[in-house]
Amino acid sequence: PPSLSGRDCLHLSEYTPQEIEALLSLALECKEKHKRGEVWQPLLGKTLAMIFDKPSTRTRISFEAGMAQLGGHALALDRNHLQLGRGESIADTAQVFSGLVDGILIRTHRHRDVEELADYASIPVINGLTDLHHPCQALADLLTLKEVKGNLTGRKLVYVGDGNNVLHSLAEAAAHTGMHLVAATPPGYEPQGSILAKAKEIAKQTGATITCTHDPMEAAVNADAIYTDVWASMGQEEEKGKRERDFEGYQVNETLIKQGKPDVTFLHCLPAYRGLEVSREVIDGPHSVVFQQAENRLHAQKALLMMVLG
Ligand code: CP
Ligand code: NVA
């Protein structure tokens, strides 16, 4: 398998389809071992420092539990309790962390700040969500889709909603695995062209396609999977009212689900807002795998940690 030792994980287009494949098979192995109750501690003595500038349930718990299970340790740090919150520079923080711990996980607003941290750190930096990317989520999503669908090549994955961080990473993930991603967003909420361009470069190697539309009903026809995320992401709280008006008609509900294949899978990274981006019937219904996705954060990230810190 390819070695990812010492590498960062800021976004998924820095990896090759082969590296993603290797991560996913290791993730499956991690999950099987965990289910059997096998103790596997390849990261004995390693420490991951985690910086959170935004709230988190899944990311924080899965990284903390994952490091513990691998024999290592994770410490969750809040920006306001670090000198970073009082003006110590990202560059100095990166160099100090590099002498004290083995890896850094960061959840913050500006993607540029994570790139700067990675530039100055001599240890791997993992993106736990920025305004542009959510690579760890997309790895767990691929693992979930693989479990549910088997082979992913040629599958139609439809994303309905905001052209945000989750969609950007999902597009890169789809490209790596040869899926056909269709993104239906309201006008003005399209994903970033420069990120899609990188995903399309990868897609050339795998036969994947990435298309954008404003019509969710049309997009959902024959879907193998339908994905949505919140309309107002963290940091966009004041736009909530406007967004709810602009996203009218973009709810994933029974009518939309019926456009997909009979066994269509519903995905959501969570947290979810029932009655807004998704109806209660869909997220709590038979097509939904949202809690499997949340659990798979643990297994996908353990594989990532083993490969970059190992
Ligand atoms: N999906 C996800 O990243 O969840 P948290 O915000 O709870 O970490
Ligand atoms: N798009 C959401 C994802 C949360 C996990 C946000 O950025 O808030």
**pLDDT tens digits, 208-252:** 999 999 999 999 999 999 999 999 999 999 999 999 999 999 999
Q: Are 189 and 246 in contact (CB under 8 A)?
A: yes
- Residues with a CB atom less than 6 Å from ligand 2: 129, 164-166, 229-230, 233-234, 269
Residues found in the chain? 310
> 216 CB contacts (<8 Å, ≥6 apart)?
160, 184, 249, 250, 256
> Is this prediction's pTM over 0.80?
yes
Binding residue ranges for L-ornithine: 165, 229, 233-234
What's the 34 CA to ligand 2 centre distance in angstroms? Answer: 28
CATH for 137-293 is 3.40.50.1370
Number of the ligand 1 atom closest to the C-alpha atom of 270: 1
**What pLDDT shows up at residue 111?**
98
Residue 1: count other Cβ atoms within 10 Å of its Cβ: 11
Report d(CA 170, CA 155) in Å as an integer: 13
What's the 104 CA to ligand 2 centre distance in angstroms? Answer: 20
**What pLDDT shows up at residue 151?**
96
Q: Ligand 2, residues 165, 167, 301: which to mutate, most atoms within 8 A of Cβ?
A: 165
Q: Which CATH number fits domain 12-133+297-309: 3.40.50.1370, 3.30.1370.100, 3.40.190.150, 3.30.230.10?
A: 3.40.50.1370
Ligand 1 pocket residue status of 59, Cβ below 6 Å:
yes
Q: Are 73 and 48 in contact (CB under 8 A)?
A: yes
Spans of the chain, pLDDT less than 50: none
Q: Which ligand is nearest to the Cα of residue 164, counting in written order?
A: 2
Name the token pair of 244: 């709810």
Q: Which ligand is nearest to the Cα of residue 297, counting in written order?
A: 1
Compute CA 168 distance to the chain's CA centroid, rounded to the nearest angstrom.
9
Report d(CA 134, CA 10) in Å as an integer: 8
12-133+297-309 and 137-293 in the same fold: yes
**pLDDT tens digits, 265-274:** 999 999 999 9
Q: Any idea where the domains of the chain sit in the sequence?
A: 12-133+297-309, 137-293
| Residues annotated as catalytic (active site), given as ranges | 107, 134, 137, 229, 269, 297
Note if the bond before 271 is cis, omega within 30 degrees.
yes
Over its C-alpha atoms, the chain yields an Rg (Å, rounded) of 19
- The region, left, alpha or beta by phi > 0 then psi within -120 to 50, assigned to residue 163 is beta
Amino acid, res. 85: G
Amino acid, res. 285: G
